Amino acid sequence: MTPAMRMKRSNPRLKREQLLKRFASRIHLNPWLDRTLVSYQANRSACFFRWFKYKEAFSAELARYFIREFGQSDGVLLDPFAGVGTALSVGRSLGMDCIGIELLPVGFFAMDARLCAEAIRPATFKRRVEAVADTDWSDHHDPDYALRHIPITRGAFPGEAERAIAGFRAYCDRRIRNPHVRKLFQLACLAVLESVSYTRKDGQYLRWDHRAGKARVQSRFDKGHIADFNWAIRQKLRQMAADLANKGDDELPLFVGVGTGDSRRMGRVDMRHGSCLEMLPQMPADSVNLVVTSPPYCNRYDYTRTYALELIYLGLDQEQVKKLRQHMLSCTVENRAKTAEMKAIYHALGRQEVYDDVHTVFQKQSALHEVLEILDEEGRRGRLNNSNIPRMVRNYFFEMCFVISELARIVRSGGHVVMVNDNVRYKGEEVPVDVVLSDFATSFGMRVERIWTLPRGKGNSSQQMGAHGRRELRKCVYVWRKP
């Protein structure tokens, strides 16, 4: 056994410790950052997030800080994981032209609805809401507009709610001619689906209330009151109408940054529906001043399950949901490797050498492969709660390596990439997402200016606490600059 092999066996975290030491001077505690700012919680005062709860969004206040710190009023902002468009709406309110890429139909729909809310005349929307104030939506029922359930949503609603939802959808399609009004009515329905169902979003899946009588669900979980659809949609539409009436009021801006007394021009928004793995390689080099984004975390969170009700409302069937899951950035144990797809993308663009370079950078990241070897061994011994965890982690970083390569190419000289992300842990082994992704960035010519950490990190799960003790994981914001 060589000295290097003996050292590796005596310290299985050696490579991760060396990488962390390399970036130690760039890691700084930022007391201004907290969980509220890097999550949706600080958005609760903004109208849109009272309309539609999207927990995966970072706060508008955080986006505004980054844009003012690193952006410029006549520049271009990109968010390749745009979600519901928080960075885009703030960026355009501060004068930047914005490009958003989002694959999840729910997020793309919500971004479109935000723009409709800006464009609509509040009085027009209010009149339509008042006109349907006493409507029993079951009276408009049409079986052609019934939800087309997939296995994981079947039985999600009481029968009367199913009938009313079908009636509401039929009315929107047949009776509302103004496309902005129609879009906002549809958003209202999307927003109340969970409250009128037997389900609750709960981390990686939908949690089912025992009253649903769902086969194979043994839990006695009780979500409490299940709202009547007619009541819920009436309340939501009234709330939206009231907020629109206050649009532009300093106390209640619809989109944070609008109506704050700033006279600069509003930027343009270019929304692109699809995967950034496919779209980023097609963007021109040196075309963006600032990237503000938060990719899915490497944490097994499956958006296609937690937003399953919304996806079927938007018309996706079982095969489309399965396809969507595979196209999204690999962050679930069901994701297969995209090696062939990435090769095909770069071959079609005549950039095969880029694929080869990215693959080389990925393979040389020794700290990542150190933890992958450990997870592979734990999987072989049956010690992981899912044997596909190593594959998921490997796929996640392989795909993020391509994303970072393209961001380094697209950002102009002097521009910044600001990314919100969390480190993760499996079977007690920390996966140092922050320094691994930052190392990728340096490999593609970017400079790591800082890795801001939150004052309070993320602790072990209750299951891991007993086995591995309490060790906090860094919750971070990375700032990379293109020289």
Of residues 306 and 256, which shows the higher confidence score? 306
Lookup result for tokens 């997402």: 433
Of residues 245 and 40, which shows the higher confidence score? 245
Q: How confident is the model at residue 468 (pLDDT cuts 50, 70, 90)?
A: very low
Q: What pLDDT does 400 receive?
A: 98
3 state DSSP class of 218? coil
Contact (CB, 8 A) for 359 and 405:
no
Of residues 252 and 216, which shows the higher confidence score? 216
In whole angstroms, how large is the CA radius of gyration of the chain?
Answer: 23
Is it the case that residue 69 has pLDDT exceeding 70? yes
**What mean pLDDT is predicted for residues 273-278?**
98
Is it the case that residue 466 has pLDDT exceeding 60? no
Q: What pLDDT does 253 receive?
A: 38
Q: What pLDDT does 254 receive?
A: 43
Q: 99 burial class (0-12, 13-18, 19+ CB within 10 angstroms)?
A: buried
Residues 6+ apart with CB under 8 A from 83: 54, 56, 57, 102, 104, 107, 294
Q: What pLDDT does 258 receive?
A: 40
Q: Model confidence over 175-198: pLDDT tens digits?
A: 999 999 999 999 999 999 999 999
Q: How confident is the model at residue 102 (pLDDT cuts 50, 70, 90)?
A: very high
Q: How confident is the model at residue 248 (pLDDT cuts 50, 70, 90)?
A: low
Q: What pLDDT does 110 receive?
A: 93
Beta-strand runs (E) in 62-186: 76-79, 97-102
Lookup result for tokens 């507009």: 145
According to CATH, where is 3.40.50.150 located in the chain?
3-104+253-303+317-459+471-481
Contact (CB, 8 A) for 139 and 167:
yes
Q: How confident is the model at residue 141 (pLDDT cuts 50, 70, 90)?
A: very high
Q: Using N-to-C axis directions, what is the helix angle for 352-363 and 389-410, rounded to 10°?
A: 130
Pairing of strands 411-422, 27-29: unpaired
Residues 6+ apart with CB under 8 A from 307: 104, 106, 201
Q: How confident is the model at residue 228 (pLDDT cuts 50, 70, 90)?
A: very high
**What mean pLDDT is predicted for residues 449-456?**
90
Q: What pLDDT does 262 receive?
A: 47
Is it the case that residue 354 has pLDDT exceeding 60? yes
Q: What pLDDT does 455 receive?
A: 85
Looking at every residue in the chain, the average pLDDT score rounds to: 89
Give, rounded to a whole angstrom, the gap between the first and last alpha carbons of the chain.
43
Is it the case that residue 220 has pLDDT exceeding 90? no
Q: Mean pLDDT lowest for which of 46-60, 369-383, 465-479?
A: 465-479
Q: Model confidence over 280-305: pLDDT tens digits?
A: 999 999 999 999 999 999 999 999 99
Q: How confident is the model at residue 158 (pLDDT cuts 50, 70, 90)?
A: very high
Q: How confident is the model at residue 309 (pLDDT cuts 50, 70, 90)?
A: very high
| Helices marked H in 381-451 | 389-410, 433-443
**What mean pLDDT is predicted for residues 254-280?**
74
Give the chain's length.
Answer: 483
| CATH code for the part of the protein at 3-104+253-303+317-459+471-481 | 3.40.50.150
